[in-house]
Amino acid sequence: MKAFVVNLFPSFFVKFFARAYVAGVGIECGIKKARDLWEKQKIASTIDMLGEEVKNLEEVDKIVHIYLTLIEKLRTESFPKHISLKPTSLGIDIDKEICFSNLEKILKLTVEENITVTLDMEDSTYTDATLELYKSLRPKYEFGTVLQSRLFRTKDDILGLAGFNARVRMCIGVYNEDKSIAYTKKSEMKKKIVEYTGMLLEHQHKVDVATHDHKCIVNALKQVEERGLGKEAVEFQFLLGVPRQRIQSELINRGYTVRLYVPFTIEWKCAIAYLRRRLIENPSMVYLGGLDFLGRILQPLTAKRKKSILPPKQEPTSSISS
């Protein structure tokens, strides 16, 4: 029902209520947002261009050119540089070899420019092809990919990464999947984020924990600290536009990297599908955005020292860290 209702919303309505999730139109908007986040809050970013269902080679070439231009423009920036890429944007629906070639072209350039890359995961019909791409190029290039806790197959996918020394963004996933292949309850998906975080750490992979859920973040943090692992073993990722400043600040003060997903678009119509999915997945984003706006206005009037919302640092547990 939620999807049905959101899909009835006119595009201008979706844009108005969900635009906080997008940096703006054009490469410069993405770079400016990433620069501001780092300079003002020491929050890192991963920059992505919104665009889906690319079905012809002309569109693919245009997207690849935009990413190459983005990489060139990032050359002179001093903030931590990170980009995310979708296989569909690189041509996987047209030809896997074309997608492979485009991804490698971008990876070669990012290595030269010291830019980190994550290969995004889309819906379950692309999981095999995305992991195949990752495993083919990971031995040559240092980059990461994504796994989704909602899918039943994810445990096996983690085991399939053995020996790759992977960096994995662990998230619920925003694509609705059939109940025959995926969990349907959010509570189950959230538990799996924590379980799979521990499993990835146990197999010496780095984990990017991507969730806004406070309990998930706390329990994922325990997975790291009880093992006595360094701060580089994990980072915590959030979406642009979701008000989680307090826990982000505490994680940064604790020494962990906090990174926001910072998408830009070339034209707003390319961002509407993304924004509709966010509204379907989290209809409270309108309410949260309003609270965030009011909070920023009222902060000078209500500012006071608040009690930490993260638990004290966990001491390593010998049975885990040994």
Is the CA virtual torsion 257, 213, 29, 144 positive or negative?
positive
93 has catalytic annotation: no
Is the CA virtual torsion 47, 51, 55, 59 positive or negative?
negative
Q: What is the amino acid identity at position 322?
A: S
Burial tier of 128 (Cβ tally within 10 Å: 0-12, 13-18, 19+): exposed
Whole-angstrom distance, CA of residue 284 vs CA of residue 83: 27
Of the candidates 169, 244, 259, 278, the residue annotated as catalytic is: 169
Q: What is the amino acid identity at position 306?
A: K
Whole-angstrom distance, CA of residue 49 vs CA of residue 266: 8
Closest CA to 197 of 175, 243, 229: 229
Whole-angstrom distance, CA of residue 99 vs CA of residue 282: 31
- What's the token pair of residue 61? 């070439």
Of the candidates 120, 157, 208, 213, the residue annotated as catalytic is: 120
153 has catalytic annotation: no
Which residues does the annotation mark as catalytic?
Answer: 120, 169
